[in-house]
Amino acid sequence: MTSQLSTNQLDAFWLPFTPNTEFKKRPRMLARAEGMHYFDQDGRKVLDASAGLWCANAGHCRKPIVDAIAKAAATLDFAPTFQFGHPAAFEAAARIAALAPAGLDHVFFTNSGSESTDTAVKIAVAWHRARGEGTRTKIIGRERGYHGVGMAGISAGGIGNNRKWFGALGFQADHLPATYNRAEQAFSNGQPEWGAHLADELEKIVALHDASNIAAVIVEPMAGSTGVLPPPKGYLEKLRSICTKHGILLIFDEVITGFGRLGTAFAAERFGVTPDLLTFAKGVTSGAVPMGGVLVDKRIYQQFMTGPDHAIDMFHGYTYSGHPIAAAAACATLDVYRDEGLFDRAKNLEAYFGEGVHSLKGKPGVADIRNIGLAAAIDLDPLDGAPGKRGFELMKHLFFDKDVMCRVSGDTLAFSPPLIAEKAHVDEMFGKVAEALATH
């Protein structure tokens, strides 16, 4: 194993979404991974309570996935998918479409969640234009929404810091209110009872801009990055019906909720609401190779298929769309999900995981707890005058002193273990959080 890197060697890499100077003073270095665990450079074993960044749903370095990647790399390292193709990309697309709700029959591949947002929004705008409704260009997102960092993602996204630094944003956008309200929903387990009416705000937005100017509404069925906000009961159903009424496309961003996080292949299935476009990434390869994509309703796809034989139907795509190694990793990952019944496993562990996290209610500094599927968040009371500090210090303490890795966003800790988690892992992660809360 490599020895510790010197300060000089740490200098070049500018880490994303990280306070770099602080990180480089005492790096949280991950050198190896296996199943539910990371190992640092000294071999210290750390429980992965966040599936990496919500992606390693099958657990780490799973042999069937590793073998498929090695085989693909040795067989077909790269093949273009502009005007050419290769078998694994078609197999992956068909298998992903087979997991999705009926009608979402086509897959446009990307390499990340951010590219998936750009792609979905561009398909939505182009589809309206192809049908002679070219004024439908505006995107409606939601406060506290995260759709990655591409131009469509930060336009539709609802996180101030991700937007304010970047001047004129790419797409014109407006925003629904966030679905979270602590006074009404504190410590709810699963979908909150309160909040369906917040979907009616879409009617006001439509009245303001007019439906003829709106291309799509994009929401995470469960907002992940801003702290696990499950949709209020009835909320997604209302959004669906208002979108349909006004001819607005509904996009679900399932980058986090896809591939079993909520106990079903996609959240659309769990909530019984089918969008017109559905973005995914992360869990599609269990994080092992970058890959993302957009599932597209068949009527949208068909609209693009009406031109002459020699003409490109959609002026969009990435060099690595459907990359052979990513496609092979996706197929192997889907095998693991199926063979080990991991989506059902998540469903079966949900109640235990929920009890575990809610057992932290009443611990020092705990302001709220939310959970659904194998995702949970704990809001902490911020320290006076230093928002985010308590969460950050707690995350570091858990990593260095308690051997648990979790995500932090401001003063919110988030937990989303690989779907192979055992009850003992749940006990360990929340037991150690309880100890940590006592001292922070």
In sequence order, which ranges of 340-410 are alpha helices (DSSP H)? 342-358, 389-402
Q: Which is nearer to ligand PXG, 112 or 191 (CB)?
A: 112
The count of residues interacting with ligand PXG (CB under 6 A) is 18
Least distance in angstroms from the C-beta of 3 to ligand PXG: 29
Residue 417 found at the interface with ligand PXG (CB under 6 A): no
Can you tell me whether residue 21 is helix, strand or coil? helix
Q: Which residue has 């439908």 as its token pair?
A: 136
Residue 255 found at the interface with ligand PXG (CB under 6 A): yes
Q: Which residue has 């990055």 as its token pair?
A: 225
Stretch that binds ligand PXG, among 189-197, 218-226, 330-338, 398-406 (CB under 6 A): 218-226
Among 220, 297, 350, 368, binds ligand PXG (CB under 6 A): 220
Least distance in angstroms from the C-beta of 224 to ligand PXG: 5
Residue 276 found at the interface with ligand PXG (CB under 6 A): no
Q: Which is nearer to ligand PXG, 281 or 404 (CB)?
A: 281
Residues 45-64 that bind ligand PXG (CB under 6 A): 53-54
Among 37, 147, 358, 370, binds ligand PXG (CB under 6 A): 147
What is the distance in angstroms between the CA of the first residue and the CA of the last residue of the chain?
A: 33
Least distance in angstroms from the C-beta of 26 to ligand PXG: 20
d(CA 231, CA 220): 9
Which residue number is nearest to ligand PXG in terms of Cβ?
Answer: 113
Query: Does residue 232 contact residue 193 with C-beta atoms inside 8 Å?
Result: yes
Q: Which is nearer to ligand PXG, 206 or 346 (CB)?
A: 346
Can you tell me whether residue 263 is helix, strand or coil? coil
Residue 114 found at the interface with ligand PXG (CB under 6 A): yes
Query: Does residue 137 contact residue 172 with C-beta atoms inside 8 Å?
Result: yes
Among 57, 81, 112, 274, binds ligand PXG (CB under 6 A): 112
Among 106, 323, 358, 407, binds ligand PXG (CB under 6 A): 407
Q: Which is nearer to ligand PXG, 253 or 297 (CB)?
A: 253
Q: Quote the tokens at residue 322.
A: 């459907």
What residues have CB less than 8 Å from 273, skipping those under 6 apart?
221, 236, 237, 239, 240
What residues have CB less than 8 Å from 411, skipping those under 6 apart?
379, 380, 381, 382, 387, 388, 390, 391
For residue 70, what are the CA distances in angstroms to 73, 77, 189, 328, 421? Answer: 5, 10, 42, 9, 26
Q: Which is nearer to ligand PXG, 219 or 300 (CB)?
A: 219
Among 81, 225, 264, 333, binds ligand PXG (CB under 6 A): 225
Residue 253 found at the interface with ligand PXG (CB under 6 A): yes
Residue 148 found at the interface with ligand PXG (CB under 6 A): yes
- b/e 281-305 (16+ beta carbons within 10 angstroms → b): bbbbbbbbbbbbbbbbbeebbebbe
Least distance in angstroms from the C-beta of 409 to ligand PXG: 6
d(CA 266, CA 291): 17
Query: Does residue 224 contact residue 146 with C-beta atoms inside 8 Å?
Result: yes
Stretch that binds ligand PXG, among 124-132, 136-144, 219-227, 394-402 (CB under 6 A): 219-227
Q: Which residues make up the interface to ligand PXG (CB under 6 A)? A: 53-54, 112-114, 117, 146-148, 220, 224-225, 253, 255-256, 281, 407, 409
